[in-house]
Amino acid sequence: MIAPIVQSMEIVTLVGAADIPDAVLDESLALCDQVVAADGGAARVLAYGIVPDAVIGDFDSFDPALRARIPADRLHEVADQNCTDFDKALARIKARLVLAVGFTGNRLDHELAVYNALVRHQGGPAIVIGAVDIAFHARSDLKVSVPVGTRLSLFPFADVQMDSSGLKWPTTGLMFSPSGRVGTSNETVQSEIHLRPSGPGMLVILPRSELKPAIAALAG
């Protein structure tokens, strides 16, 4: 079990080094209690005029000149090369919810690694926020309240069933697989959607406009 570096009873924003529209970062910062940077994400946080509460990573993309602007007790180097900086940071945050920004939209291999880490993560819930969409791991039953007609996609990272109610194209009884059936571009026909996964491995993807309903579903 990895000991947490950051602990909070509220929401923590985790910032990566990928491009982040100001609107995305503004929204996340307005909702959070603490700000953590994953390695080179510290540059964006500092440029925003904020000193991160912690920086976690292998520091291979962290400018030493910027590092000098952060108190030494907030710097946490993790040298493990078998996982990404997102993985390192997420595993060491214990919070009601993590909002991860700056991890989408640049290199595709990096973004796929983020989703891989997201479904493997055993700690508290996390939402990856991009410029257009948000994604989170549906590990257990949940209800999400969104407007009728909202796009909702299901993308499996394992063989998993997803019983549901409130979707235009029913998914109950279907087996989803990363090399088989996926559930992209479904649509809500009720204002409350009930999702019941058979096990871990399913990502739920919603428009970024539905961030607050997703937070309510995952963290109350």
CA angle 158, 161, 167 (to 5 degrees): 120
Total domains present in the chain: 2
The most confident of 83-92, 106-115, 147-156, by mean pLDDT: 147-156
Question: So what's the pLDDT on residue 83?
Answer: 86
User: Is the model's pLDDT at 124 over the cut of 80?
Assistant: yes
Block residue for tokens 């440029």: 47
* Structural domain ending residue among the three candidates 105, 131, 157: 131
Asked if 127 and 149 sit in the same domain, the reply is no
Q: What is the pLDDT of residue 86?
A: 95
User: For residue 143, what pLDDT band results from cuts at 50, 70 and 90?
Assistant: very high
Which strand (E) or helix (H) includes residue 103? none
- Domain boundary among the residues 107, 131, 155 is at 131
- By residue range, what is the domain housing residue 93? 6-131
Beta-carbon contacts of residue 194 (< 8 Å; ≥ 6 apart): 141, 142, 143, 164, 165, 166
Residue 18's pLDDT band (cuts 50, 70, 90): very high
Residues of 34-50 as b/e, b for ≥16 C-beta within 10 angstroms? bbbbbbbbbbbbbeeeb
Question: What are the angstrom distances between the C-alpha of 176 and each of 127, 138, 172, 203, 216?
Answer: 21, 13, 11, 11, 26
Q: Are residue 58 and residue 116 in the same domain, yes or no?
A: yes
- pLDDT 10s digits, 35-60: 999 998 999 999 999 999 999 998 88
Residues 170 and 118 in one domain: no
CATH number where 71 lies: 3.40.50.10240
Helix intervals (H) in 71-189: 85-91, 108-120
